Amino acid sequence: MSVLEVRNLTKRFGKFTALNGVNIEVNEGEVYGFIGPNGAGKSTTIRVLLGILKATEGGAKIFGKDAWSDAVEIHKRIAYVPGDVNLWPNLTGGEVIDLFVKLRGGNNKSRREELINKFNLDPTKKCRTYSKGNRQKVALVAAFSSDADLYILDEPTSGLDPLMEQVFQECVMDAKSEGKSVLLSSHILSEVEKLCDRVGIIRQGEIIETGTLNELRHLTRTNLLVETKQPITSLNELKGVHDIEEKDQGLSFQVDTEELDAVIKHVSKFGIVKLESAPPTLEDLFMRHYESKDEVSGGVS
Amino acid sequence: MTPTHLFKGTGEITKLLLRQQRFKILIWLLGLIIITLAVASAYPDMYTDEKSKQAFALTMDNPAMIAMLGPGYEEQDYLGSIGTLFTHEMLLFSAIAVAIMSILLVGRSTRADEEDGRTEMVRALPAGRLSYVSAAMIILTAVNAVLALFIGLGLSVLGIEGINLESAILYGAVLGATGLVFGGFTAVFAQLAETSRGATMLSFAVLIVAYLVRAVGDVSNEALSLISPLGWTVRTDVFAGNDWWPVILSFALSIVINIIGFYLNSIRDLGSGFIPARGGRRQASSLLQTPIGLTLRLQRTNIISWGIGLFALGASFGSILGDLETYFADIEFMQAFLTEEEGYTMTEQFIVLLMAIMALIGTVPAVMTILKLKGEENKNRTEYLYSRSLSRNRMLGGYFLLAIAVSIIMQLLTAVGLWSAAAAVMDDALSLGSTFKSALVYLPAMWIVIGLAVFTLGIIPKAAGIVWFYLIYGFVVIYLSGLLEFPEWVNNLSVYEHIPQVPVEDMDFMKIIVLTIIAVVLAAAGFLGYNRRDIKG
Ligand SMILES: Nc1ncnc2c1ncn2[C@@H]1O[C@H](COP(=O)(O)OP(=O)(O)O)[C@@H](O)[C@H]1O
Ligand SMILES: [Mg+2]
């Protein structure tokens, strides 16, 4: 069952088109990774989901309700962590957490204390004295101590240290194991790989790739390093082989995952001595889209 | 660090600050210069003969007027120079406007930039520790110098009787010097307080205290006036004796304050104040856990400060009513002259004028309450709140109700202040009921301005600042309409002109109801717009 559904969403700010026909679907119990370069439209999409921005065309549904007109109803069941956490300088972290938990209607004191300890936050300090990471912790504690069905997290870990990042990942996994859904916009690919069931990649306001990590890996290339008895010939004539480089003893190249079978068959004819393969990472996937973006914009300018 | 290092980059930062504020600076300068010159050029036509000048001297020479506008001149000075009449009516309030401009200018370019993290970025460049505050002071000085020069030269070329170049420059210079003093105070408070709001609030508090000390001093004891910088402002005897000492004294004071400000700035950490941050509550009080509680909490200090300020203003004027009463009892003939004309005592007429001004001032915190929501949006804090189960109506409604409550509280405090102080000093005390009535009757006008604020917030959020222009307009109309003989429609644009001036005029419930309906319509349109528009952050 889909918890969140974005259909053909377009958002224009004056003449500038920030989002162009975006489609996203997050199912119940799923962690959805929302990745894309700066300015791609992640935060804009999330603000439409929160009913803060009004869609120019298309729209979004959360729990089957309209994100704009039923915002208040929907928000009873979601928790949000903004990318840029701006807090009131003269309130303490503890006060802000309470305010947020209360505004949603839940009240889980023990969870709050547990999270404050886990994130190592001093809730008696005024917000103006907090660093970016600490402000983010305030928002994270407020989000995870409220007992929501959907968590919307906009680059929530950009200010956290690796230890706290770990705590954050535990929180997401806990939520997932309780059957909660998560929309996680992120830059940190290792985090997305670890946490997300499915990802969507957005670039210049358009979703360019979406699917489970496994599905997307089909779109990526596997790195191979091969040593053979006889030198390999006519490799570059094969479909789906890229970036061939001669190494000390053998060849290193990349293969489109769907052509892997044909390429291995070809190579094995030369008598394989050594074969190393590295799985495609999300990083590769991401970089490929970055590169193709550069190619496109390079061609235009 | 060598001294020159401390100031490195000042020039660049000055340009940067100037660029950011040029529009505001231009509006302030144009407004002040144009109003001054326009009013001055109207005087020769208003006071053409000795009789009218004598009448002016007579109306001005009473404790209420002295408290409001400062001590006047000798009668022969009024007769000898039109400039003196102009000065007595205009100088003090112009100086206060210049002080407000300077406070806002310095507050914006020092603490506000620091609070928003811009100073940090600039200071990470090869820029000295004192460069930011020096840049702000350079701009302050330049703006006030330009103001002094233009007003001085402008007045001198108008060819008004009794205004020559030297005295006109003195008039401009005393305005500029007052600006330097209060801008300097703001620079010091920007070091002491931890927020830009705190710095400007403290500066306004000093301005109000300076005004009140001078008011009481001018009426009762000149020595008291001399400890207030505004007491110096009104003692140049410009266009008659032309004393320069107040200008020199203000200048000297501003240099001393600047040195203090620079010193404090050089020894403190960026982002901190000298009033140390205390630890706070671990948990939110139950009040804070509601949207309106948050709204209230964020504005608590602001509202309380304004409340105290209005009570003090009301009380100060109330305490003068006793002198006013004695004064008119002494001069029986004048009492007869005035009551005969209007059918009301001078005291009542004075209260009517006072209430109009106080209502305008009392509207300021109410409008601030509404516009705070815009400020929160600009600082990206509403986005986070709206991710919770909170409707826009509930949020804006909270701010709206609070603003209405603030308007009522401010009027009550003004009335209580005025009445209680008057009761202590007058033989024939004011009636409590009529004092409250004359204060509360202004509420519909205040509500229209609050409604206008909601309207701009909902429909034209980028231009929300026009509410301030409207308030300034209302003030200009009250203060100057009589002087400049504005056409009727110009006066009518200010809603404060439509309020029946109880007790001098009769209560007019029809008007009150119509005004309230307009306020409701404006606010409702604002709510509708706010529900439909994008929230920026
Ligand atoms: N209120 C706005 N007005 C105009 N342009 C905007 C506004 N908000 C965002 N944008 C633009 O929309 C694009 C997407 O921004 P955003 O969603 O914040 O990107 P990100 O993926 O980094 O979160 C950017 O080019 C940004 O400049
Ligand atoms: Mg973003």
**Is the confidence at residue B340, as pLDDT, over 50?**
no
Q: Which helix (H) or strand (E) holds B63?
A: helix B63-69
Q: Cα angle at B210 between B204 and B214, to 5 degrees?
A: 150
CATH number for A273: 3.30.70.260
**Interchain CB contact of A132 with B (< 8 Å):** no
Distances from the Cα of B257 to the Cα of B7, B189, B299, angstroms = 18, 10, 29
Q: Are residues A30 and A76 in the same domain?
A: yes
Q: Are residues B411 and B505 in the same domain?
A: yes
Q: Cα angle at B32 between B28 and B33, to 5 degrees?
A: 115
Q: What is the pLDDT at residue B275?
A: 64
> B388 near B438, Cβ under 8 Å?
no
d(CA B63, CA B57): 13
* Dihedral (CA of B385, B391, B393, B394) sign: negative
Q: What is the pLDDT at residue A300?
A: 36
Spatial CA neighbour of A297 closest among A5, A21, A37: A37
DSSP state of A68: T
Q: What is the pLDDT at residue A42?
A: 94
Residue B171 lies in a domain: yes
Decide which of B245, B271, B297 is a domain's last residue: B271
Q: Looking at per-residue confidence, does A13 or A285 come out higher?
A: A13
Q: What is the pLDDT at residue B276?
A: 58
Between chain A and chain B, how many beta carbons pairs sit less than 8 Å apart? 113
Q: Are residues A9 and A126 in the same domain?
A: yes
d(CA B423, CA B427): 8
Distance from CA of A213 to the nearest CA of B (A): 29
Q: Are residues B235 and B309 in the same domain?
A: no
Task: Give chain B positions within 8 Å (CB) of A85.
Answer: 384
Residue A90 lies in a domain: yes
Give the pLDDT confidence of B386-404 residue by residue, as tens digits: 988 889 999 999 999 999 9
Decide which of A196, A216, A236 is a domain's last residue: A216
Task: Give chain B positions within 8 Å (CB) of A151.
Answer: none
Q: Are residues A61 and A88 in the same domain?
A: yes
Residue A67 lies in a domain: yes
DSSP assignment of A238-281 equals STTEEEEEE-SSSEEEEEEGGGHHHHHHHHHTT-EEEEEEEPPP
Mean pLDDT value across chain B: 88
Q: Are residues A226 and A196 in the same domain?
A: no
Q: Are residues B203 and B340 in the same domain?
A: no
**Is the confidence at residue A301, as pLDDT, over 50?**
no
Residue B461 lies in a domain: yes
Q: Cα angle at B477 between B499 and B430, to 5 degrees?
A: 50
Tell me what ipTM this predicted complex has.
Answer: 0.72
Least confident of A203-217, B79-93, B272-286: B272-286
Q: Are residues B195 and B312 in the same domain?
A: no
**Interchain CB contact of A127 with B (< 8 Å):** no
**Is the confidence at residue A96, as pLDDT, over 80?**
yes
Q: What is the pLDDT at residue A295?
A: 46
d(CA B142, CA A104): 52
Give the pLDDT confidence of A250-275 residue by residue, as tens digits: 888 888 877 888 888 888 888 888 88
Least confident of A62-71, B106-115, B116-125, B129-138: B116-125
Residue B237 lies in a domain: yes
Residue B88 lies in a domain: yes
Rounded to 5 degrees, what are φ and ψ at A40? -75, -25
3-state helix, strand, coil in chain B (%, to 5): 80, 0, 20
**Is the confidence at residue B280, as pLDDT, over 80?**
no
Angle formed by the axes of helices B392-425 and B291-330, nearest 10°: 20
Residue B11 lies in a domain: no
Q: CB within 8 A of B340, min separation 6: which ones? A: none
Residue of chain A whose alpha carbon sits nearest to that of B391: A72
Atom of ligand 1 nearest to the CA of A47: 17
Q: Looking at per-residue confidence, does B502 or B518 come out higher?
A: B518
Q: Are residues B249 and B355 in the same domain?
A: no
pLDDT band of residue B223 (cuts 50, 70, 90) is very high
pLDDT band of residue B337 (cuts 50, 70, 90) is very low
What does the pLDDT average to over A91-102? 87
Residue A241 lies in a domain: yes
Query: Which residues are bridge partners to A19 per DSSP?
Result: A11
Alpha helices in B343-465 (DSSP H): 346-378, 382-386, 392-425, 432-440, 443-459
Query: Which residues are bridge partners to B312 per DSSP?
Result: none
What does the pLDDT average to over A135-151? 91
Residue A266 lies in a domain: yes
What does the pLDDT average to over A138-147? 90
DSSP assignment of B95-123 equals HHHHHHHHHHHHHIIIIIHHHTTHHHHHH
Q: On the CB side of B11, how many CA atoms lie within 13 Å of its CA?
A: 3
Q: Are residues A211 and A225 in the same domain?
A: no
For chain B, the C-alpha Rg in angstroms (whole number) is: 24
Decide which of B271, B291, B314 is a domain's last residue: B271
User: Which 3 state secondary structure label does DSSP give A124?
Assistant: coil
For chain A, the C-alpha Rg in angstroms (whole number) is: 23
pLDDT band of residue A81 (cuts 50, 70, 90) is very high
Spatial CA neighbour of A141 closest among A187, A191, A96: A96
- What's the total number of domains in chain A? 2
pLDDT band of residue A197 (cuts 50, 70, 90) is very high
Q: Are residues A196 and A237 in the same domain?
A: no
Q: Are residues B401 and B488 in the same domain?
A: yes
> A84 near A38, Cβ under 8 Å?
no
> B148 near B173, Cβ under 8 Å?
yes
d(CA A272, CA A270): 6
A209: left (phi over 0), alpha (psi -120 to 50) or beta: beta
Q: Are residues B214 and B193 in the same domain?
A: yes
Q: Are residues A200 and A225 in the same domain?
A: no
- What's the total number of domains in chain B? 2
Q: Are residues A58 and A131 in the same domain?
A: yes
Q: Which two tokens stand for residue A72?
A: 């208040």
Least confident of A101-105, A232-236, B404-408, B525-529: A101-105
Q: CB within 8 A of B446, min separation 6: which ones? A: B359, B362, B363, B366, B407, B411
Q: Are residues A132 and A209 in the same domain?
A: yes
CATH number for A79: 3.40.50.300
DSSP state of B259: H
d(CA B8, CA B287): 48
B525: left (phi over 0), alpha (psi -120 to 50) or beta: alpha
Question: Which residue shows structure tokens 């602001």?
Answer: B302
Angle formed by the axes of helices B82-107 and B50-60, nearest 10°: 50
d(CA A71, CA B535): 13
**Interchain CB contact of B280 with A (< 8 Å):** yes
**Is the confidence at residue B96, as pLDDT, over 60?**
yes
Cα torsion for A102, A108, A111, A112, to the nearest 10°? 30
d(CA A140, CA A81): 6
Residue of chain B whose alpha carbon sits nearest to that of A74: B389
What does the pLDDT average to over B103-129? 80
State the residue range of the domain holding A263.
Answer: 221-279
Q: Which two tokens stand for residue B136?
A: 């702000």
Distance from CA of B118 to the nearest CA of A (A): 15
Distance (Å) from CA A286 to ligand 1 centroid: 20
Residue A301 lies in a domain: no
Nearest to A53 among B379, B387, B534 (CB): B534
pLDDT band of residue A299 (cuts 50, 70, 90) is very low
Task: Give chain B positions within 8 Å (CB) of A185.
Answer: none
d(CA B6, CA B94): 36
Q: What is the pLDDT at residue A49?
A: 94
What does the pLDDT average to over B158-168? 90
Residue B8 lies in a domain: no
d(CA B116, CA B123): 13
Spatial CA neighbour of B265 closest among B135, B143, B178: B135
Q: CB within 8 A of A258, min separation 6: which ones? A: A218, A240
Task: Give chain B positions within 8 Å (CB) of A47.
Answer: 383, 535
Atom of ligand 1 nearest to the CA of A155: 23
Atom of ligand 1 nearest to the CA of B536: 1
Residue contact B390–A72, C-beta within 8 A: yes
Decide which of A216, A239, A264 is a domain's last residue: A216
Q: Are residues B327 and B213 in the same domain?
A: no
Whole-structure pTM over 0.90, yes or no?
no
pLDDT band of residue B142 (cuts 50, 70, 90) is very high
What does the pLDDT average to over B453-480? 93
What does the pLDDT average to over A40-62? 93
> B425 near B457, Cβ under 8 Å?
no
Amino acid code (one letter) for B512: I
Distance from CA of B195 to the nearest CA of A (A): 9
- Whether residue B444 is preceded by a cis peptide bond, meaning omega within 30 degrees of 0, is no
Residue A273 lies in a domain: yes
User: Which 3 state secondary structure label does DSSP give B442?
Assistant: coil
Number of other CB atoms surrounding residue A258 within 10 Å: 12
pLDDT band of residue B188 (cuts 50, 70, 90) is very high
> A157 near A147, Cβ under 8 Å?
no
Mean pLDDT value across chain A: 86
Q: On the CB side of B404, how many CA atoms lie within 13 Å of its CA?
A: 14
Spatial CA neighbour of A226 closest among A244, A204, A202: A244
Atom of ligand 1 nearest to the CA of A14: 4
Residue A285 lies in a domain: no
Q: On the CB side of A216, how many CA atoms lie within 13 Å of its CA?
A: 23
What does the pLDDT average to over B477-498? 86
Most confident option among A83-87, B193-197, B521-525: B521-525
What does the pLDDT average to over B1-6? 66
User: Which strands sit side by side in the sheet containing A16-27, from one edge to the other?
Assistant: A16-27, A2-13, A57-62, A65-66
Q: Are residues B497 and B412 in the same domain?
A: yes
Task: Give chain A positions within 8 Å (CB) of B283.
Answer: 94-95, 98, 123
Least confident of A105-114, B61-70, B151-160, B374-383: A105-114
Q: What is the pLDDT at residue A186?
A: 86
Q: Are residues B259 and B302 in the same domain?
A: no
Q: Which two tokens stand for residue B162?
A: 């009794």
**Is the confidence at residue B207, as pLDDT, over 60?**
yes
d(CA B440, CA B452): 19
Q: Are residues B267 and B291 in the same domain?
A: no
**Interchain CB contact of A54 with B (< 8 Å):** yes
| Burial class of residue B308 in the structure, from the number of CB atoms within 10 Å of its CB (0-12 exposed, 13-18 middle, 19+ buried) | middle
Q: Are residues B261 and B296 in the same domain?
A: no
**Is the confidence at residue A21, as pLDDT, over 90?**
yes
Q: What is the pLDDT at residue B193?
A: 86
**Interchain CB contact of B383 with A (< 8 Å):** yes
Q: Cα angle at B512 between B507 and B515, to 5 degrees?
A: 150
Task: Give chain A positions within 8 Å (CB) of B532.
Answer: 54
Distance from CA of B116 to the nearest CA of A (A): 11
Q: Are residues A64 and A185 in the same domain?
A: yes
Q: Are residues A30 and A143 in the same domain?
A: yes
Q: What is the pLDDT at residue A296?
A: 43
Ligand nearest to the CA of A45: 1
Residue of chain B whose alpha carbon sits nearest to that of A102: B289
State the residue range of the domain holding B202.
Answer: 18-271
Q: Please give all residues whose beta carbon lies within 6 A of any atom in ligand 1, as ranges.
A: A 13, 16, 18, 36, 38-44; B 536
d(CA B42, CA B392): 49
Q: CB within 8 A of A235, min separation 6: which ones? A: A241, A244, A251, A253, A266, A267
Decide which of B271, B293, B321 is a domain's last residue: B271
pLDDT band of residue A174 (cuts 50, 70, 90) is very high
Residue A287 lies in a domain: no
Give the pLDDT confidence of B31-69 residue by residue, as tens digits: 999 999 999 998 888 888 888 888 788 777 878 888 889
d(CA A282, CA A217): 8
Amino acid code (one letter) for B178: T
**Is the confidence at residue B250, as pLDDT, over 50?**
yes
Q: What is the pLDDT at residue B291?
A: 79
Residue contact A72–B289, C-beta within 8 A: no
Q: What is the pLDDT at residue B252?
A: 97
Q: What is the pLDDT at residue B238?
A: 92
Q: Are residues A98 and A13 in the same domain?
A: yes
* Residue of A46, A86, A129, A132 to mutate for B, most B C-beta atoms under 10 A: A86
